[in-house]
Each structure stands twice: as structure tokens, then as C-alpha cells.
Structure 1
Amino acid sequence: MRTLSRVLAPAALAALLLHAAPAGADPVPADPVPADAAPADDAVAAATPESVCGAGYRIIDSLPISTPRLWATVYLLYNSGNGYNCVVTWKKTNLSVRTYTEARIQVKGSSTIHRNGGDFYTYAGPVRVKAPGKCVQFGGVASDAPGGQRFQSLSPWGHCG
């Protein structure tokens, strides 16, 4: 699978990733962790991407965030019982410090990018979206140190279903 990984300055990353939902957009189910806060014990709150997303979710794809050093892995999960996709970005380095980490997903045909990002010890997410019969693009961001460089990976459109 082809992935895009690059070093982005914070301003360029913000310009690339920031987006406001259009007026009248359908509400998104609330994620248990707000985008601007990490749970106090996120390092022990979940042991796997499946446990972060919840019962019924299974990993269907993943992307490395690497430079070539592996900073994190972005997981796309799907729950066939409720039809939701879920994205979690799982850190592979710097687990003892909070570094910027983000999980994101977009449904093809929508300008809304659903995301969860902040300074986390272990992972960002879950980010859930229902996309019946539509393709999704998922990705994530990880930084090399607190306030450091940010790296991203973004999938091509896929998992159209």
C-alpha cells in the first residue's frame, strides 16, 4: 500500500488538517475522549486498538507513520454490527511522554474530517464515522518529541462499502 509520510512544519500541518464542518452537517457520535484532553490513565485504559474502539470492532487496515523510524501505526477498524469505521493512532515510541498524536478519517464526498488529536502518552482516538456504500480515507499524525516535528501518513481512498 502506498502511504504519504512527510515532515511538516506546525503551521503547514495546521493548514493541511484544520477544517470546520459545513453548516447543517450531520452530528458525529461523541468520542469518549475530547480532542483537547487525554485521559489521565490512557496508557492503561486500553491494551489494543480493538479495545479502544469497543466491542465488535476488527482491524481491517493499518498505516505506519515513519521517517524511516516507526513513530506510530494508524489502525482502521470496522464494526459490521453497527456499520461504523473507527480510527486509532497507536504510538510506537516516546510512550513515557505526552507527544502530539492524531487520528483522522474522512468519508468521500464530505468535506468534514473527523479527528481526535492532542498530547497523549499512548494513542489518539477513537474516531468513528458511519460510511455505508462510501469510500473512506484515514490517517494520523505523530511527533518525535513534546513540541517537536510532526509526521503524518494518509491512506488513499478505499474500503468502499
Structure 2
Amino acid sequence: MTAFRVLARTAVVTALGAALVAPALPASAATPEGICGSGYRVIDHMTSSPWGTYYLLYNSGNGHNCVVAIKARGAGTKTFTEARLQVQGSSTILRDSGQFESYAGPVRAYANNKCVQWGGRFSDWTGQTFATLSGWEHCT
């Protein structure tokens, strides 16, 4: 057997072994904390029934907020989904949006002692969009 065939076969076996050891998490396993990362805790949520839920998280260690939009209806199918966050006093609106199967985000911003406006949009397979946006809140 040539060195190329041995190398190619080893690469395939290694790739298959990696897939068996570390399978991708299903969409239903996505949690707001898992998406935002270590140190973030859910401080609020808004449901856009029946499409999904927006979560606002805060990390007291670094003063950052994080927003994720997790789909309920249509999960597993790519439809437009958006997570949105704006810090009061800033004209910048942070967004993660696109055709996603299970969630949009994380969207993070430093907001210690500042109000935030958060939410996003979910769309169904026909393109109809459902938007939810909070007022200025969580100011501490």
C-alpha cells in the first residue's frame, strides 16, 4: 500500500472516530447559557408564541449582556431568525440574523449600569416575520 493510501485511510478513520466521540448537539440541546458562554445567567425572557423565545443574559464578572433567540416552531428548518441588542446611549444596534435552524446569537455588549433594549425577529417558512422588542430596561 502506498504512503498516500495509508495517509488518506488514516484521515478517514480519524474523522469518523472524531464524529463518534464528539457528535453535534441537537437543536433541542441549545440553552441560552450554553450559547452565550461561561459566566452568563438568564435575567429575563420574552416569548414570541408560538415561534420561539428571546433570552437576555448578564455576566456580572465582565458587565456584558447577551441576547439569544431560540426557535420553537420550525426548529430544524432554516428560517430567518434574529437576536438584537442595543445599549442606551449608543446608536449601534447589534444583531445576529440569518437563515438559522435553531437559534440566533449570541449578541453581546458591555452594559454595566446602562439600560438595554433587546429582542429580535422570527420568520416562518412563508416569510411572515414576527418581531418582539423590549423597552429600555435592566438598567443596573
What TM-score do the two structures reach when normalised by structure 1?
0.68
2:77 counterpart SS class: coil
- Which consecutive aligned stretches of 4+ in structure 1 deviate over 3 angstroms post-superposition? 41-46
2:96 maps to which of 95, 116, 137: 116
1:64 maps to which of 7, 27, 47: 47
- The structure showing larger relative contact order (alpha-carbon pairs under 8 Å, at least 6 residues apart) is 1
Q: Distance in 2 between matches of 1:105 and 1:46?
A: 23
Post-superposition shift, 1:140? 1.1
Q: Distance in 1 between matches of 2:64 and 2:107?
A: 10
In structure 1, the gaps of 5 or more residues are: 1-40
Structure with greater proportional helix content: 2
Label 1:52 to 1:126 Cα distance change in 2 as closer, same or farther (>3 A). Answer: same
Post-superposition shift, 1:43? 4.2
Q: Distance in 2 between matches of 1:149 and 1:125?
A: 20
1:51 counterpart SS class: helix
What TM-score do the two structures reach when normalised by structure 2?
0.78
1:48 maps to which of 28, 31, 51: 31
Task: Choose 1 or 2 for highest CA Rg.
Answer: 2
Q: Is the 8 A contact 1:138 1:154 kept in 2?
A: yes
In structure 2, the gaps of 5 or more residues are: 1-23
Q: In the alignment, what sits opposite 2:72?
A: 92
Aligned sequence identity (%): 57
